[in-house]
Amino acid sequence: MKFISLLLVSLGFLIACGEAVPHLEEIRERGELRVLTRYGPTTYYVKGEELAGFEYELAKRFAEHLNVKLKIIVPDNLGDMLNLIEQGKADIAAAGLTITPDRQDIIRFGPVYQQVTQQLVYRLGTKKPKNLTALGDGQLEVVAVSSHVEQLKSLREEIPSLTWTENTEIDSSGLLELVQLELIDFTIADSNEVAANQIKFAELRVAFNISDPQPLAWAMPFAEDGTLASEMDKFFDQLDESGDLSRLKEKYYGHIRHFDYLDTRAIERRILTRLPKYQTLFEQAGEKFNIDWRLLAAMSYQESHWDPNAVSPTGVRGLMMLTQNTAKLMNVADREDPAQSIAGGAAYLASMIKRLPERIVEPDRTWLALASYNVGLGHVEDARKLTQGDGGDPDLWPDVKARLPLLSKRKWYEKTRYGYARGGEPVHYVQNIRRYYDILLRHEEASIEFNADENKEPKILPSAL
């Protein structure tokens, strides 16, 4: 694994540095790209033992494009971030920043890479407002100096009674949590952040949009001489032409577009009531077959909702819903025995991973293996061939996912070796498992933070790598 250097510094240190505005050659001579970002599910976070996030991965790729190291800097708040980039204290700000007229007066933006919509968010169980004039005495709180403030100011020209509070201490994810906890009534967040946070805060609801789609882009100091901006344009052009930008969006957003409140609440309850009975078995199987135990647990929840006595109409049964043939192949004598079922399911998934072509890399390798677990490797191979024939990349899950449903259409399955399959099912299967996996990860992170607070120990942040 290629490690990326990470720097967490205070605002005072950055201001004390007083570095000159960097140009492309200066960055290359320095050997590092200094990037401002923020913690959050749409930007930068720790996933298991790795660093992740849509903005983080984009920045990492850009640093590799420049052949330099990546240095991540997390300011205390959005206002500090905008001030730092305006003053040239970093090379770029990659934090899901909306391009607005006010911001364009003080900073320079790169190419647009995503569109989001500002949404008014409330909590399930409270009255849904029909429009901004119906907020009544409810408390609306938004991030200070955000694009949401600019939008509210423009809307107040038509709604003079519109009022809100600006928070300088926490970001949008923090305000969404306050809505979840019923500490405030409403907040405004970008559509991608709402979707990402609903996995963790299941009671959040969108009342309505308060803006048209708006563009997101990286920011640079105005004094940048144009060489960095020009290289950034080339980088995003290449990402767009190769399809990598679309694939990266699918990686982080493809499995969270359709939020299911009841399903999310159900798994959260069962994480507390059912999972503890089997967690050790998942951990043991994960260690034996080199698979994240939380992925195995997510699979099992998709298969049986962690019910060892589950039986389908087709006769598959147990925690991992094994068929008789699969059980026999994996030496499982009793499919309803939790230990045997989990070990057999893990072994079968490991065999799917191993049988895929070696050139397929993660995470596509795992998603394709999961689809094979569900519908059979032969049908997945048929879909991969259809993908290649259609001009897609058969080694990328997003490309294969788009063609799997074709296996249920005569025009397409007649051309395949293994014939008809309900190809839409493995697509939903993988999407659900990815969502359950994210919920399990976040539940574990929340437990670690809770225990740290209980013990009055400082929160552990990612160390320099």
Q: DSSP for 223-237, please give it.
A: T--SHHHHHHHHHHH
Q: How many other C-beta atoms can be found within 10 angstroms of the C-beta atom of residue 402?
A: 17
Q: What residue type is assigned to position 404 of the chain?
A: L
What is the three-class DSSP state of 120? strand
Class of domain 261-431 as given by CATH = mainly alpha
- 392 touches 421 (CB < 8 A): no
Closest CA to 259 of 336, 323, 163, 193: 193
pLDDT value of position 312:
80
Buried b (16+ CB within 10 A) or exposed e, 28-63: eeeebbbbbbbbbbbbbbeeeeebbbbbbbbbbbbb
Query: CA-based Rg of the chain, rounded to a whole angstrom?
Result: 24
Give the integer Cα–Cα distance in Å for 387 and 307.
36
Considering Cα of 380, then 386, then 390, then 394, what sign does the dihedral take?
positive
Summarised one tens digit per residue, pLDDT across range 249-258 is: 888 887 665 5
Report CA-CA distances (Å) from 51 to 335, 408, 452.
37, 38, 21
Active-site pick, 25, 303, 381, 414? 303
pLDDT value of position 7:
41
Q: What percent of the chain stands above pLDDT 70?
A: 88
Summarised one tens digit per residue, pLDDT across range 200-234 is: 788 899 999 999 999 999 999 998 889 999 999 99
* Cβ burial, residue 203 (10 Å; 0-12/13-18/19+): middle
Closest CA to 350 of 335, 328, 369: 369
Q: How many other C-beta atoms can be found within 10 angstroms of the C-beta atom of residue 170?
A: 16
What is the three-class DSSP state of 425? helix
Segments of the chain with pLDDT less than 50: 1-22, 448-465
| Length of the chain as a residue count | 465
Whether 11-110+217-253 shares its CATH topology with 118-211 is answered yes
CATH of domain 118-211: 3.40.190.10
Summarised one tens digit per residue, pLDDT across range 152-206 is: 999 999 999 999 999 998 899 889 989 988 899 999 999 999 988 887 788 899 9
pLDDT value of position 451:
43
Closest CA to 342 of 404, 390, 312, 299: 299
DSSP state of 406: G
Give the integer Cα–Cα distance in Å for 153 and 89.
29
Report CA-CA distances (Å) from 80 to 35, 77, 168, 170, 180.
13, 5, 10, 12, 26
With 0.75 as the threshold, say if the pTM is over it.
Answer: no
Give domain 11-110+217-253's CATH superfamily. Periplasmic binding protein-like II (3.40.190.10)
pLDDT value of position 13:
38
- 464 touches 5 (CB < 8 A): yes
pLDDT value of position 374:
92
Query: What are the residues whose beta carbons fall under 8 Å from the beta carbon of 204, sequence distance 6 or more?
Result: 121, 122, 123, 124, 176, 179, 180, 194, 197, 198
pLDDT value of position 223:
87
Position of tokens 């230990």? Answer: 339
* Cβ burial, residue 348 (10 Å; 0-12/13-18/19+): buried
pLDDT value of position 457:
33
The residue ranges of every structural domain in the chain are 11-110+217-253, 118-211, 261-431
303 is catalytic: yes
- Residues forming a β-bridge with 141: 165, 187
- 208 touches 131 (CB < 8 A): yes
